[in-house]
């Protein structure tokens, strides 16, 4: 049976639909984060913009409340980087992500001589005593393991122990150096196939290479190939997997202007990222030092970079297009940027948009 080929534009619309970027959803933050599986949260403020672009009527306090009551957690997850995930999903999938977190240690010499079987119980005891930030924890571990690199000790604990960050009353939920604590009980089963289905629900259709890149795992070709999944091909001939019941909007479905924060998971969710950003523009978004810049979207694709600042009471969103924009795009993006500026700086006295 011949597999249907999905164009890049069709993949774009399918993924935007699952990412709540075709139409803002009437969801609470927990349901939205679960729909997205996880949201990159290297810096605490970024998911707020990500949810504002995806949830109808989203307010900053909505996410702050979910963080405060523990229904959403911030933790080291995919690719050993910080993400937001619902507490229920964290409990379900932390074990499945453990092999990728183990890979994060690599073979660097700085980890030589660290006895993990001794280190992790010591760190666990320290964190059971009370939450601690890693400046404090590293100092305590260095006293216990004086011959080891203190940074290596901290990184090993951060990646090998399941830990969640403790929210505070800071404007974006966390201070610059947040404390970590041990979570509630986790699933003892890896639940890898369930995790892959959730990945496809959020980012599919996708290849096994795409899933490996986002989840930070290896060996997914055989796993996905054995699952009961729909299969397609992309324009390069790669096999794409999807949930049999998942919708595939037509490629001419309108895609409104949207602003994504730095490190948004959508930009990082695939090995082949042409469904979101053209190859020619990718080096402008993902820098050599692995920063992932904030992008604005028009007609479904990343069309440029954006930043914002607040000076003398004026909140300004500045857009830098990759190439000249048509007048219709400028009008739509300007209106969306004005609303974004009001969300980011609700107490500003005035708002401006600069292209």
Residue pLDDT, tens place only, 121-179: 999 999 999 999 999 999 999 999 998 889 999 999 999 999 999 999 999 999 999 99
Let me know if residue 105 belongs to a domain. no
Give the SS3 label for residue 268. Answer: helix
Let me know if residue 8 belongs to a domain. no
CB atoms within 10 A of CB 304: 22
Model confidence pLDDT, tens digit, residues 323-346: 999 999 999 999 999 999 999 999
Please state, rounded to an integer, the average pLDDT across all residues of the chain: 95
Domains held by the chain: number: 1
247 CA to centre of own chain: 22
Let me know if residue 107 belongs to a domain. no
Cα gap 211→224, rounded to integer Å: 9
Let me know if residue 294 belongs to a domain. yes
The pLDDT score that the predictor gives to residue 107 is: 59
The pLDDT score that the predictor gives to residue 14 is: 98
Let me know if residue 50 belongs to a domain. no
Tokens of 13: 């619309």
Structural domain containing residue 292: 279-354
Which residue, 271, 223, 215, 199, is CA-closest to 95?
Answer: 215
Tokens of 164: 């969640």
Model confidence pLDDT, tens digit, residues 11-63: 999 999 999 999 999 999 999 999 999 999 999 999 999 999 999 999 999 99
The pLDDT score that the predictor gives to residue 108 is: 59
Environment class of residue 238 by beta-carbon count within 10 Å: exposed (0-12), middle (13-18) or buried (19+)? middle
| Residues near 64 by beta carbon (within 8 Å), at least 6 away in sequence | 167, 173
Is the pLDDT at 105 greater than 90, yes or no? no
Let me know if residue 115 belongs to a domain. no
Question: Is the N-terminal amide bond of 205 cis, ω within 30° of 0?
Answer: yes
Scan for tokens 């963080």, then name that residue: 67
The pLDDT score that the predictor gives to residue 111 is: 75
Model confidence pLDDT, tens digit, residues 209-248: 999 999 999 999 999 999 999 999 999 999 999 999 999 9
Let me know if residue 116 belongs to a domain. no
Cα gap 302→57, rounded to integer Å: 23
Let me know if residue 327 belongs to a domain. yes
Scan for tokens 């571990």, then name that residue: 141
């Amino acid at each position: 049976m011949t597999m249907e080929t999905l164009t890049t534009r069709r993949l774009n619309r399918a993924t935007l639909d699952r990412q709540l970027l075709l139409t803002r959803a009437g969801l609470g933050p927990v349901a939205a984060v679960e729909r997205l599986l996880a949201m990159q949260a290297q810096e605490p403020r970024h998911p707020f913009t990500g949810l504002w672009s995806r949830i109808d009527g989203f307010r900053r306090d909505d996410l702050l409340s979910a963080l405060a009551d523990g229904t959403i957690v911030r933790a080291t997850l995919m690719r050993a980087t910080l993400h937001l995930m619902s507490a229920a999903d964290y409990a379900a999938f932390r074990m499945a992500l453990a092999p990728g977190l183990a890979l994060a240690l690599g073979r660097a010499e700085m980890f030589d001589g660290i006895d993990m079987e001794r280190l992790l119980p010591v760190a666990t005891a320290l964190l059971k005593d009370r939450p601690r930030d890693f400046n404090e924890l590293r100092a305590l571990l260095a006293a216990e393991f004086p011959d080891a690199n203190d940074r290596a000790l901290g990184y090993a604990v951060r990646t090998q122990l399941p830990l969640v960050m403790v929210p505070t009353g800071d404007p974006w939920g966390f201070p610059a150096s947040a404390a970590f604590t041990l979570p509630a009980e986790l699933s003892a089963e890896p639940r890898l196939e369930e995790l892959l289905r959730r990945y496809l629900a959020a980012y599919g259709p996708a290849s096994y290479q795409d899933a490996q890149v986002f989840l930070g795992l290896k060996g997914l070709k055989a796993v996905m190939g054995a699952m009961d999944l729909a299969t397609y091909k992309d324009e390069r001939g790669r096999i794409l997997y999807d949930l049999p019941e998942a919708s595939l909007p037509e490629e001419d479905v309108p895609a409104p202007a949207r602003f994504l924060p730095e490190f948004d998971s959508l930009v990082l969710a695939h090995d082949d990222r042409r469904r979101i950003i053209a190859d020619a523009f990718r080096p402008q978004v993902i820098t050599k030092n692995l920063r992932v810049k904030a992008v604005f979207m028009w007609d479904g694709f990343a069309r440029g970079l954006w930043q914002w600042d607040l000076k003398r009471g004026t909140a300004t969103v500045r857009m830098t297009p990759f190439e000249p924009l048509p007048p219709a795009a400028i009008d739509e993006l300007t209106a969306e940027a004005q609303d974004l500026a009001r969300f980011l700086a609700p107490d500003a006295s005035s708002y401006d948009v600069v292209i």
